[in-house]
Amino acid sequence: MASNLDISKNCRSCRKVGEKLFLKGAKCRTAKCPIEQGLPTPGQHGKKAGSKKLSEYGKQLQEKQKAKLMYGVLESQFRRFFEKASKFKGSTGENLVSLLERRLDNVLFRLKMAFSRDQARQLIVHGHINVNGKRVRTPSYLVKPGDAITLSQRALNKTVFIETIVDKRINIGIKVPDWLELDKKERKGVVLRLPVRSDVTIPVEERLIVELYSK
């Protein structure tokens, strides 16, 4: 469970970019969200969301920051994803989004088996997640079509955790992306295909990130 400090930090990140990045799961969909409340950006001279005018370079930096915050990756990791995306055929920006979506921590979040990507990372690092029956402890692990994501037996034995976290999240009315399939009864997810840009609804203009790294 995230501490109050973690919650404050994540909400501050959303306020900084002036957009809802859904870093805290359920809270982001309530009236408690600072963006919903119209709170200013952090700092003594904080401005209302959307009131700050940015240069083109500033916009490019902001889009990269939004993507990094959303997926929880460091600069070095993000650059590696970008370099990998640039080697594939097609749009580099769309390839980048697809790669970020395929991260195991994001897939766990998309499958509604965790309330946030932060929580998903904790589950993975603590050895509670299996891919194709084998334990995976790396949040950045890239899933592929046909992969089956399940909870470890140790996690399934934690009744309170299953009832208050996994089952509660699985049964809320949020749609699982078309590239994934969720079996609620078995608490199991399957990767049907690779994600494409139309599968992903995120407040990021990836073309600006490509422009930034192309300079």
Residue 141's domain is classified under what CATH number? 3.10.290.10
Check residue 190 and give its pLDDT.
Answer: 98
Check residue 25 and give its pLDDT.
Answer: 61
43 and 111 housed in the same domain: no
65 part of a folded domain: no
Say how many domains are in the chain.
2
Check residue 189 and give its pLDDT.
Answer: 98
Q: pTM for the whole thing?
A: 0.79
Digit-by-digit pLDDT tens for the chain (215 residues) are: 444 445 556 656 666 666 767 676 655 556 666 666 666 666 655 565 555 688 999 999 999 999 999 999 999 999 999 999 999 999 999 999 999 999 999 999 999 999 999 999 999 999 999 999 999 999 999 999 999 999 999 999 999 999 999 999 999 999 999 999 999 999 999 999 999 999 999 999 999 999 999 98
Check residue 53 and give its pLDDT.
Answer: 84
113 and 184 housed in the same domain: yes
Check residue 21 and give its pLDDT.
Answer: 73
By residue range, what is the domain housing residue 148? Answer: 103-191
Q: What is the DSSP string of the chain?
A: ---HHHHHHHHHHHHHHTS----SGGGGGSTTSHHHHTPPPSSTT---TT-----HHHHHHHHHHHHHHHHT--HHHHHHHHHHHHTSSS-HHHHHHHHHHTBHHHHHHHTTSSSSHHHHHHHHHTT-EEETTEE---TTPBP-TT-EEEE-HHHHT-HHHIIIIIHHHHTSS-PPPTTEEEETTTTEEEE-S---GGG---S--HHHHHHHHT-
182 and 107 housed in the same domain: yes
